[in-house]
């Protein structure tokens, strides 16, 4: 925090005077005396960043000042910071996170391209954040995670913003208003958004939404809780071609049925059952054929023993042609016959 203390340039009258600040009190007294003597009010920019206006409500106003970088010398006690309508290219984490009392931050209409987990790492009191009209392209996991008091997040009109992580807002349980209108979003995983209990207004319009199964949950959400969505009439599909211009809410149910035409668990169970039946049927029939062959073999053998040896030759040859299943039985039967029979059997097989 030494870095933050060094940065503190807020007029000391704004701070609680502690016993350790006796010398400061003296300094202030001195300043007041000088002011009285000269008859002029203290400059409002005392302890205030260049080209900004700081008031006694702890508001720092730097809008439209052609700033290209984040203002330096910000008073640590700042509660509202307005840096909109400039050309600021990044939000450096160190000076920004020193403003631990910040409640309101307007960064709209700048040239911000990147925000990360460390950008807002210490702003636990921040309730309002505006990142609209910038050039952001993606929002990662946990970027807004540290903002535990966040109530309203505006992030509209970033023409290249096409990627918002599914858990980007998962920890902002107090979020009431989320506006991501007029970006380049084709899809949005709403699994964690749906569970935000306080969320009452969502802006999604003006994005090139893709109305296929990937956005099934999004469309269903708009369908079920349409009242939450600002400009719901302008929240339309830009693809696939046959659904272009259709409202997301209208397609919720259609996508639900369309995206679940594939095999369900009952279908798989059916296939398993069929497989089992085929397997069991095959086993049973093979066993039955085996039994029939053995019985037939024994029957033939019995019959042949009752007949003359001359007839036996013709009878024994028949089952030999029956194939593998009967083969064992044929060989078993052979030792009981005479030498002539054995030779005949081999010749036949
Ligand atoms: C953005 O800021 C510029 C000045 O830097 C201004 O001319 C322009 O109108 C602003 N745009 C919007 C949308 O506020
Ligand atoms: C928006 O995203 C598409 C791809 O989804 C890309 O081709 C296009 O260039 C993006 N538009 C802008 C302005 O970045
Ligand atoms: C959405 O994100 C959650 C969490 O990251 C993930 O479990 C889920 O599969 C995602 N849904 C889709 C449709 O990608």
Cα 202 to ligand 1 centroid, rounded to whole Å? 24
| Tokens at 136, concatenated | 């952001």
45 vs 84: CA distance, rounded Å: 19
Q: Is the CB of 68 under 6 A from ligand 1?
A: no
Residue nearest to atom 7 of ligand 3 (CA): 191
Please, what is the average pLDDT of the chain? Answer: 80
Min mean pLDDT across 83-97, 183-197, 242-256 is at 242-256
Alpha carbon distance 288, 268 (integer Å): 30
Which helix or strand (DSSP H or E) is residue 130 part of? strand 128-130
pLDDT band at residue 91 under the 50/70/90 scheme: very high
- Between residues 342 and 4, the one the model is more confident about: 4
Residue 191 C-alpha to ligand 3 middle, in angstroms? 6
Residue 184 Cβ < 6 Å to ligand 2: yes
Q: Does residue 122 surpass a pLDDT of 80?
A: yes
69 touches 47 (CB < 8 A): no
Query: Cβ(222)–Cβ(234) under 8 Å?
Result: no
- In tens, the pLDDT along 244-258 reads 999 999 998 888 888
Ligand 3 atom nearest the C-alpha of 190 is 1
pTM confidence score: 0.69
Residue 176 scores a pLDDT above 80 = yes
With the most atoms of ligand 1 within 8 angstroms of its CB, the residue from 108, 109, 181 to mutate is 109
Q: Say which CATH topology domain 2-203 has.
A: 3.80.10
Specify the ligand 2 atom closest to the Cα of 159: 13
The answer to whether the beta carbons of residues 105 and 40 sit under 8 Å apart is no
Asked whether residue 331 carries a pLDDT value surpassing 50, the answer given is: no
* Most confident of the ranges 21-25, 54-58, 180-184, 305-309: 180-184
In this predicted structure, the answer to whether residue 299 has a pLDDT above a threshold of 80 is yes
Q: Nearest to residue 99, comparing CAs of 118, 124, 116?
A: 124
> Does the structure show a pLDDT above 80 at 236?
yes
Cis peptide before 240 (omega within 30 of 0): yes
Ligand 2 geometric centre to CA of 160 (Å): 6
Average pLDDT over residues 211-215: 94
CA 170 to each of CA 71, 105, 333: distance values in angstroms, whole numbers, following the listed order: 31, 21, 80
Q: Which of 134, 135, 137, 160 to mutate to test the pocket of ligand 2 (most atoms within 8 A of CB)?
A: 160
**pLDDT > 50? residue 35:** no
Report CA(63)–ligand 2 centroid distance (Å): 29
Comparing 30 with 136, which gets the higher pLDDT? 136
Segments of 251-334 assigned E as strands: none
Residue nearest to atom 2 of ligand 1 (CA): 85
The bound ligand whose nearest atom lies closest to the alpha carbon of 184 is 2
Mean pLDDT for 295-306 is 84
User: Is 10's C-beta closer than 6 angstroms to any atom of ligand 1?
Assistant: no
Ligand 1 atom with the shortest distance to the CA of 87: 5
Percent of the chain with pLDDT over 70: 72
C-beta 238 within 6 A of ligand 3: no
| Ligand minimally distant from the alpha carbon of residue 135 | 2
3-state secondary structure of 177: strand
If one compares 82 and 255, the residue with the highest pLDDT of the two is 82
DSSP code of residue 247: B
Place of tokens 């979003």: 185
Is 109 a pocket residue for ligand 1 (Cβ < 6 Å)? yes
Q: Are 156 and 183 in contact (CB under 8 A)?
A: yes
pLDDT greater than 60 at residue 320: no
Selected residue with higher pLDDT from 26 and 98: 98
72 lines ligand 3 (CB under 6 A): no
Ligand 3 centroid, distance to 166 Cα (angstroms): 7
Ramachandran bin of 245, using left for φ above 0, alpha for ψ from -120 to 50, beta for the remaining angles: left
pLDDT in tens, 254-295: 888 888 876 556 666 766 777 777 778 888 888 888 888 888
* Helix 309-320, helix 324-333: angle, nearest 10: 150
Of 49-53, 131-135, 334-338, give the range with the top mean pLDDT.
131-135
Q: Please tell me which residue, 220 or 20, carries the higher pLDDT value.
A: 220
- Residue 179: CB atoms within 10 Å: 21
Q: Averaged over 200-215, what is the pLDDT?
A: 95
């Amino acid at each position: 925090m030494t870095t933050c203390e060094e940065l503190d340039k807020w007029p000391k009258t704004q701070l609680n005077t502690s016993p350790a600040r006796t010398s400061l009190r003296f300094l202030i007294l001195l300043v007041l005396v000088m002011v009285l003597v000269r008859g002029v009010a203290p400059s409002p920019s005392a302890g205030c960043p260049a080209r900004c206006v700081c008031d006694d409500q702890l508001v720092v106003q730097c809008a439209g000042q052609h700033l290209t970088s984040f203002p330096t010398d910000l008073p640590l006690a700042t509660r509202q910071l307005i840096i909109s309508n400039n050309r600021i290219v990044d939000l450096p984490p160190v000076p920004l996170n020193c403003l631990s009392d910040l409640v309101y931050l307007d960064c709209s209409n700048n040239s911000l391209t990147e925000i990360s987990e460390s950008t807002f790492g210490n702003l636990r009191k921040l309730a309002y954040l505006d990142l609209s009209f910038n050039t952001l392209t993606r929002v990662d996991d946990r970027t807004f995670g540290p903002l535990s008091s966040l109530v309203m997040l505006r992030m509209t009109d970033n023409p290249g913003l096409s990627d918002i992580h599914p858990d980007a807002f998962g920890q902002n349980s107090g979020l009431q208003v989320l506006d991501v209108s007029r970006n380049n979003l084709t899809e949005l995983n709403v699994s964690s958004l749906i569970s935000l209990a306080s969320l009452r207004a969502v802006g999604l319009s003006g994005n090139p939404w893709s109305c296929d199964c990937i956005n099934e949950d999004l469309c269903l959400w708009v369908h079920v809780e349409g009242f939450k969505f600002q400009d719901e009439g302008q929240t339309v599909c830009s693809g696939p071609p046959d659904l272009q211009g259709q409202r997301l809410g209208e397609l919720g149910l259609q996508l639900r049925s369309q995206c679940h035409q594939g095999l369900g668990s009952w279908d798989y169970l059916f296939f398993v059952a069929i497989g089992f039946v085929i397997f069991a049927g095959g086993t049973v029939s093979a066993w039955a054929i085996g039994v029939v062959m053995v019985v037939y073999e024994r029957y033939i053998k019995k019959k042949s023993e009752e007949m003359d040896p001359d007839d036996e030759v013709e009878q024994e040859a028949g089952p030999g042609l029956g194939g593998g299943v009967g083969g064992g039985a044929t060989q078993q039967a052979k030792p009981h016959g005479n030498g002539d029979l054995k030779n005949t059997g081999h010749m036949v097989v």
